[in-house]
Amino acid sequence: MSRIAIPDITSATGATADIYARVKKISGGRVPNTYAALGYLVPASLAAVLDAQGTLNSGSLSRQEHETIKLLVSEKTGCDVCVAAHSFVGKLVGLPVDALRAIRAGQPTGDARRDALVRFVSHLHTTSGTISEDEFNAIRAAGYTDTQLAEISLTIALGIFTNTFNRMNGTRQLSASRVSRLAGRAWHHTSRFRPAPHGRTCADTRDIKPLSWNS
């Protein structure tokens, strides 16, 4: 049970009602628990998350790259629920099971570009962004552009924000069956900003857009 109690979303008014309506429009009529709490407590924070993710969704990183980053950050943050959710979405967007396990362990996945991304994100997380010139040159040599480096940083930041909030709040998680149903809905959604399943601690893919799937 979540630690922070919020009113039923049907009673929302003002800025909270407005941001709930925005979430419902892009998530098939639902307001996930994470977003319900953020929308009630600080509506502008949820709007900022949606705006930032919309920017990433229209960026140049692939769905697999988004999920690689989110899975790795979730693992390093220690959110087991989020790890499970991003493992599920990772499979949905085509990441092999062996690659998902390797990403979590920080081991080679068999894909040089992906492995460079995993090393880079690991360094950023461990050092809070203080990396060596060699590490910076390595990610550039792997083919990542300066714009993509900014997108990587934003993906990490969004993941850490929602992971931290949900771990603090103990946000209630969805059952695996509901995550699966919502994932399918997200996959077929045709709007510019489509939701992707997230566990209790994630809020993040180009064609599957991130929402934290908590009921």
Exposure string for 134-148, b = 16+ CB within 10 A, e = fewer: ebeebbeeeebeeeb
pLDDT at 27: 82
pLDDT at 86: 82
Distances (CA, A) of 136 to 73, 142, 194: 19, 10, 32
pLDDT at 178: 53
Residues 6+ apart with CB under 8 A from 206: 57, 59, 61, 62, 63, 66
Half-sphere exposure of residue 67: CA atoms within 13 angstroms, side-chain side: 30
- Domain positions in the chain: 63-169
3-class state of residue 191 by DSSP: coil
pLDDT at 167: 87
pLDDT at 89: 85
Q: Rounded to whole angstroms, how far apart are CA atoms 69 and 121?
A: 7
Calculate ∠ Cα 30-33-35, nearest 5°. 80
Place of tokens 């990403």: 103
The per-residue pLDDT for range 104-116, each reduced to its tens digit, is 999 999 999 999 9
Residue 42, token pair as written in the block: 């600080």
The CATH number of domain 63-169 is 3.40.50.300: no
pLDDT at 85: 72
Contact between residue 189 and residue 13 where contact means Cβ atoms under 8 Å apart: no
Place of tokens 């994630």: 202
List per-block mean pLDDT (blocks of 10 residues) for the chain, which spans 215 residues.
91 97 91 91 97 92 94 88 81 95 95 97 93 96 98 94 88 58 41 34 37 39
